[in-house]
């Protein structure tokens, strides 16, 4: 009788375990099917619209004149919108302004050929793009989510589709302005009146200026040596070094470098990290330039603007 009782208990336990295992298997299969259903990728459409659209990003704001007076004017910046993926319900991509790369998601209206694209909203500079497609151009507006957090809460866009291409041959145009307007420095000067012989001191603002060495040295094509760099100005070496990153589409946060490379027709910012794209020679040249930049001096001059 005791043996029979134990046998029945054992059979019940085995049956219970079997039921649990079956239920677990059923649930696992159900979860698996649900996962497969949820993970179905929506088909892409309008791949012909994919790419980079770049141009002017303009908004009303307070400007500062040469003599330091403030006035209301239009502030022009460069912006690039990159459309990465379009489906029936969603559009995915990114915007880059002032070196600040932000993802966006939105929708495309097939009838009006227009996009509504929202940046995440967790940055004070985030907003909504409402732009219309016309052949290879995008025009429209951007409005900030937080209107009190930015100088110009509404801006217009006029963009043209461009294709990013890397080439080690890209250089600054020889007509480029080689002045760093963003980092003026005050100098104390002396003036002697020829008639009275009286000497007075005054303070003047000067800007860094590069030499034409930036048109001759290419850190993407030639192995640089200490001899190449020892007599260069600090700004020369900064431009030569950052030309490497500009060729790979680096989005510069520093206005100084954007001012130089936006003068070209080849500079298209596509990423805020291009380190993996640099060649071995480019990396070695950048390391050498960094060593010399650390101790180099600048040449300053006075310019009107």
Q: What pLDDT is attached to residue 8? A: 42
What are the tens digits of pLDDT across the range 251-290? Answer: 999 999 999 999 999 999 999 999 999 999 999 999 999 9
Residue closest to 268 by CA, chosen among 136, 122, 160:
160
Q: What pLDDT is attached to residue 263? A: 95
Phi and psi for 229 in degrees, rounded to 5? -105, -20
Q: Does domain 47-162 have CATH number 3.50.50.60?
A: no
What are the tens digits of pLDDT across the range 43-89? Answer: 999 999 999 999 999 998 776 666 667 778 898 999 999 999 999 99
DSSP state of 253: S
Residues 201 and 189: beta-carbon distance below 8 Å:
yes
Please determine, for residue 166, whether its predicted confidence score (pLDDT) is greater than 90: yes
Residue closest to 155 by CA, chosen among 78, 68, 265, 236:
78
Residue closest to 273 by CA, chosen among 252, 255, 250:
250
> What is the pLDDT of the chain when averaged over all its residues?
88
Q: What pLDDT is attached to residue 192? A: 85
Residues 246 and 263: beta-carbon distance below 8 Å:
no
| DSSP character string of 102-160 | EEEEEEEETTTTEEEEE--SSSTT-EEEEEEEETTEEEEEEEESSTTSSS-SEEEEEEE
As a whole number of angstroms, the distance between CA 275 and CA 75 comes to 31
pLDDT band at 153 (very low <50, low <70, confident <90, very high): very high
What are the tens digits of pLDDT across the range 192-225? Answer: 887 888 888 989 999 999 999 999 999 999 999 9
Please give the average per-residue pLDDT across 119-130, as a whole number.
96
CA Rg, the chain, in Å?
Answer: 30
> Would you list the domain boundaries of the chain?
47-162, 179-301
What are the tens digits of pLDDT across the range 13-48? Answer: 444 444 444 444 444 444 433 334 445 689 999 999
Residues 117 and 145: beta-carbon distance below 8 Å:
no
Q: What pLDDT is attached to residue 61? A: 74
Q: Pseudo-torsion of CA 88, 90, 92, 98, nearest 10°?
A: 130
For residue 95 the two structure tokens come to: 């915007």
As a whole number of angstroms, the distance between CA 147 and CA 253 comes to 22
């Amino acid at each position: 009788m005791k043996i029979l009782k134990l046998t029945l208990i054992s059979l019940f336990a085995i049956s219970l375990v079997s039921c649990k295992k079956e239920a677990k298997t059923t649930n696992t299969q159900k979860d698996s099917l649900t996962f497969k259903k949820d993970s179905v990728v929506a088909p892409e459409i309008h791949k012909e619209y994919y790419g980079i659209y770049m141009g002017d990003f303009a908004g009303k704001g307070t400007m500062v004149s040469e003599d330091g007076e403030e006035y209301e004017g239009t502030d022009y910046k460069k912006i690039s919108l990159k459309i990465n993926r379009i489906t029936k319900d969603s559009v995915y991509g990114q915007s880059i302004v002032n070196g600040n790369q932000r993802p966006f998601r939105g929708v495309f209206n097939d009838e009006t050929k227009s996009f509504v694209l929202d940046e995440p909203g967790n940055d004070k500079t985030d907003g909504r793009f409402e732009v219309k497609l016309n052949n290879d151009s995008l025009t429209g507006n951007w409005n900030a989510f937080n209107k009190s957090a930015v100088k110009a809460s509404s801006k217009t866009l006029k963009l043209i589709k461009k294709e990013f291409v890397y080439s080690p041959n890209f250089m600054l145009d020889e007509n480029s302005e080689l002045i760093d307007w963003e980092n003026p420095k005050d100098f104390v000067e002396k003036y002697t009146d020829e008639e009275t012989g009286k000497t007075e001191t005054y303070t003047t603002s000067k800007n860094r200026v590069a030499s034409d060495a930036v048109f001759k040295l290419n850190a993407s094509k030639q192995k640089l040596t200490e001899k190449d760099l020892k007599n260069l100005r600090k700004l020369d070496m900064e431009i030569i070094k950052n030309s490497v990153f500009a060729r790979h589409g680096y989005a510069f946060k520093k206005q100084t470098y954007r001012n130089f490379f936006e003068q070209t027709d080849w500079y298209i910012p596509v990423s805020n990290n291009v380190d993996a794209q640099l060649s071995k020679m480019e990396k070695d040249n950048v390391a050498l330039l960094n060593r010399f930049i650390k101790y180099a001096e600048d040449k300053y001059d006075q310019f009107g603007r």
